[in-house]
């Protein structure tokens, strides 16, 4: 079985810890406080909008505001389950074929030699788009419900809207690097298996791995990274849900 090299332990979100283990990129934990990092990420226009949301007078709360119920919980669970099922059930984790006419690999080459990473990359990008759209729409609906509770909850909804607008670009830019990092992992796994098979053939020994096993390892790793990204993207939704429970 082909395995990724072990990396130094790293605390933080599951997505970061997975990428630290699977890639050759060194991740270092920031010593800055959250407020210091936010000050670098927010533009002055964002700071003005955030100050307005925090210190302004929130909109009046409708008299018919409905109390928090199971509907919000069920909706969040439904969206999360649908995205997780799309990740787990996609054909990318069963078999991915090269674009264009099927081509047989050269004589003596493994059958997975024709597998190209760009197909996996496109799948990952498609899932990222689905997560961004589905979770973004859900977050907006939760803010609407939160704003209909109390004045304090209205202010919180406004702050969340400003933060999403201010940080969405940075989030999109950072998460866009994940497929490229996985591309390196893809090639390392393939090359490691090819070397193992070549060494076994040269020495006349029985190969220690099953030809093509690296691809199953990669599919599982890619699925784990996507699920970890889903968990990370869902954190603001969990925060809004927690606020709704207390309102």
Instruction: Please tell me the least confidently modeled range out of 4-8, 15-19, 88-92, 239-243.
Output: 4-8
Percent of the chain having pLDDT more than 90?
43
Note the pLDDT of residue 66: 55
pLDDT in tens, 144-191: 999 888 888 898 999 899 889 888 888 999 999 999 999 999 999 999
Instruction: Please tell me the least confidently modeled range out of 71-80, 139-148, 200-209.
Output: 200-209
Q: Is 139 exposed, middle or buried (0-12, 13-18, 19+ CB in 10 A)?
A: buried
Note the pLDDT of residue 28: 66
Note the pLDDT of residue 91: 63
Model confidence band, residue 222 (pLDDT cutoffs 50, 70, 90): very high
Give the pTM.
Answer: 0.79
Angle at 236 between CA 136 and CA 40, to 5 degrees: 100
Place of tokens 């119920």: 69
Note the pLDDT of residue 41: 67
Place of tokens 């899932």: 127
C-alpha–C-alpha distance, residues 119 and 235, integer Å: 29
pLDDT at 92 over 50: yes
Note the pLDDT of residue 107: 42
Token couple for 187: 């090639």
Note the pLDDT of residue 6: 46
- Quick one: which of 37, 25, 31 has its CA closest to 166? 37
Rounded to the nearest integer, the mean pLDDT of the chain is 80
Token couple for 20: 């630290």
Note the pLDDT of residue 177: 95
pLDDT at 236 over 80: yes
pLDDT at 1 over 70: no
Domain-by-domain residue ranges, the chain? 44-54+65-98+108-246
Note the pLDDT of residue 102: 37
Residue 175 Cα to chain centre, angstroms: 7
Q: Which residue has the higher pLDDT, 109 or 23?
A: 23
pLDDT at 199 over 90: no
Cβ within 8 Å of residue 173, ≥6 positions away: none
């Amino acid at each position: 079985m082909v395995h990724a090299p072990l990396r130094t332990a790293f605390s933080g979100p599951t997505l970061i810890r997975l990428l630290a283990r699977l890639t050759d990129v060194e991740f270092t934990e920031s010593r800055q406080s959250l407020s210091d990092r936010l000050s670098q990420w927010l533009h002055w226009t964002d700071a003005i909008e955030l100050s307005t949301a925090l210190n302004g007078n929130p909109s009046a709360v409708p008299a018919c505001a409905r109390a928090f119920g199971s509907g919000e919980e069920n909706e969040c669970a439904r969206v999360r389950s649908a995205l997780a099922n799309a990740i787990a059930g996609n054909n990318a984790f069963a078999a991915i074929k090269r674009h264009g006419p099927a081509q047989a690999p050269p004589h003596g080459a493994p059958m997975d030699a024709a597998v190209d990473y760009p197909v996996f990359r496109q799948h990952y990008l498609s899932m990222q788009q689905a997560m961004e759209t589905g979770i973004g729409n859900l977050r907006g609906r939760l803010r609407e419900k939160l704003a209909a509770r109390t004045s304090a909850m209205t202010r919180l909804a406004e702050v969340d809207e400003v933060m999403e607008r201010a940080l969405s670009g940075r989030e999109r830019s950072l998460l866009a690097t994940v497929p490229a990092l996985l591309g390196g992992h893809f090639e390392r796994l393939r090359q490691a298996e090819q070397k193992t098979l070549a060494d076994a053939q040269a020495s006349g020994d029985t190969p220690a791995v099953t030809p093509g096993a690296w691809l199953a390892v990669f599919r599982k790793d890619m699925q784990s990274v996507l699920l970890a990204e889903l968990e990370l993207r869902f954190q603001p939704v969990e925060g809004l849900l927690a606020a709704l429970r207390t309102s």
